[in-house]
Chain A
Amino acid sequence: QKEVEQDPGPLSVPEGAIVSLNCTYSNSAFQYFMWYRQYSRKGPELLMYTYSSGNKEDGRFTAQVDKSSKYISLFIRDSQPSDSATYLCAMSGGGSNYKLTFGKGTLLTVNP
């Protein structure tokens, strides 16, 4: 079993749709959870950062972490064509264990 599982998609939705992206993980030591957005041929851009369980909202983006289920989600409301990118979940144990473990990434296309 891989440490982090993420459905690679591709996922195609119409403009305005609500998008749900998910990752599961097996390492209970993970404490910090991140979502990155990566456009083609660009470096990843940090979207959301969450510590431990709970929800975090930033504009159209909501990140959820359920440590009991080892499951994290990213929701995108009112999706736009400019949201078309690959979304990577990442997590770390924090403290001296700051290496990130990435999911494979989900390719999202939002159609106008």
Chain B
Amino acid sequence: GAVVSQHPSWVICKSGTSVKIECRSLDFQATTMFWYRQFPKQSLMLMATSNEGSKATYEQGVEKDKFLINHASLTLSTLTVTSAHPEDSSFYICSSLAGATDTQYFGPGTRLTVL
């Protein structure tokens, strides 16, 4: 299957700071990538759809000014959590859409802890 990487795998930050998470599609070009968050013992919640070269599409209830998404190339999308607060602590996972099969391949996730 396709390989998607995320960096960092975990991060701890102070309240009020910003954190950037990178998602890379390593072995195929992905015009579309997705960002999810997952709370303990819950399923994945789609936050936004990231399209290369255009603005991201956010799901209802997700603050686009707080969760900035940039998809500047066919292999890289970034999620920046701005002015992070403890309630933003979660597991953030990206995925890349493999166009040939409309299948999503997921990254390993980034665990964010905001103190």
Contact = CB atoms under 8 A, between A and B. Distances in A.
B43 A92 contact: no
Contacts of A32: 102-103
Given A41-B91, A46-B1, A104 B42 contact: yes
Given A88-B43, A102-B43, A104-B43, A44 B93 contact: yes
B62 interface: no
Nearest to B6: A43
Interface stretch (A11-19, A61-69, A76-84, A93-101): A93-101
A88 B43 CA distance: 8
Contacts of B34: 99
Nearest to A90: B104
Most B CB within 10 A of own CB, among A34, A95, A98, A105: A98
Interface residues of A, number: 22
B109 A43 contact: yes
A100 B93 contact: no
Interface of B: 1, 4, 6, 32, 34, 42-44, 46, 49, 91, 93, 95, 97, 101-109, 111
Interface of A: 32, 34, 36, 41-46, 49, 88, 90, 92, 94-95, 98-100, 102-105
